[in-house]
Structure 1
Amino acid sequence: MKECREIEPLLASYVDGEASGAECGAIQAHLDQCGACRDAAADERTAREVLVACRARLRARAPGALRTRCAAQRAAVAAVRGDVHALSGWRTLVPLSLAASILLAVAGVFIYSAVSQVEALAAQLAVDHVKCASFKSSTAGDPIAMAARWEQANGWPVRVAPSAAQHDLEFLTIRSCLVTDGRTAHMMYRWRGEPLSVFVLPNTVEAVNAERVIERFGYGAAMWSAEGRTYVVVANGHPQDMEPVVRYVRANAR
């Protein structure tokens, strides 16, 4: 029977019906014996169903008048409370079940999608960051081996930024997440003892035409496009604190 740390990165493709026959058999055998992974698979399935059901609405452009009102309301709230304080309630979602957290977070993504495609993407990836971080991986992964496995399973290559002691950054694993219209590589790390995510989208998001730094739900997101791909680093904290590790990822991940 595979160990939990081997099963966890495969759950997304298993739930999406994209795992190979051999992988499905091994995963199902493990789930039959492991209640914790069985619950994780159920949460993964619920999260996927919610995001897929809301996909059309998340992509839709709201009327211009509504976007203007939302932007004005957001500016007014930020002026009174400060943007981070206004959104700090996100942290209260963590003790909830994953499914409940995703349902509440999708509502937030929909609000941001009315204002900006970039902010909607940042909000969605913050959701995925929290969702995937709940499946804890305690051991460091081999970046070269996992990159090779990713390419074999998904048909396009990635280069993983390896662990870096000078940044207190430890690579853990690669997951597969469904973002926008396709499969996205989600590289998971521990940074200063807390989760950090690097998302690689296999296409350029037109709205990300320059490096952007956005703070959503108490998380910083650094975004850029290069060589036909879009990259997003998400971590808990202020964007300015992330600058050194973002520079490292930008120089080493592809």
Structure 2
Amino acid sequence: MAERLAGEGALVAVHYAHDEAAARQAVESIAAAGGRAFPVRAEFGTPGDVDALFEGLQAGLTEHSGAAELDILVNNAGIFTGDAEPEKVTPELFDRMMAVNARAPFFVTQRALPLLRDGGRIVNVSSGLTRLANPRETVYAMSKAAVEMITLHLARHLGPRQITVNTVAPGVTDTGAEFLRIPQVRRTLADETAFGRIAEPGDVADVVAFLASAEARWITGAFVDVTGGSLLG
């Protein structure tokens, strides 16, 4: 997503929690392609997480563009702590998932609103799992459903400012997860899509870039299924 938006001319703040090397690699890749980006560290789900993000974000925007102003916010950060039967979900697991996947994007958006120009774009990344019953992923799906409520209600709230707010819901996407290297697992998940393959990051990034563009100015409050047909049944 960062590379795709940078390719469209955006100055991109690449947020990371722990993997500084990966963030810097993304920034360098963007720069090598002629784009502009800078890294920002903040670990969501910890005290002061949003303050840390915006301290680095505003400093980076001012340094690279001369003003701490935003046109696009993509709430993509999230965690998946693995399958857990409902009977085995602990309060600690529940609180951690909600803190990172639901609480953080709400307060990041809240803090971004004074910086976001009228006519701006907010894209929230949910999951196709909010439309499927998978008991082992109940808490994850709950946290992502909360993100969809941010979209729904803020789309109405921010309409007078011509700011669009939309949800993108990916299915299984090849982001380098270890379990996707197991051939049988990969085949099984690929067969759940209409196209017989797992999504590449670019399949999702292209949709995000469209929703962030001027061409999507008349779309707001939408849930965009980017699961490759996995929800067709």
TM-score, length-normalised on structure 1? 0.28
Q: Which has the higher contact order (CA 8 A, sep 6+)?
A: 2
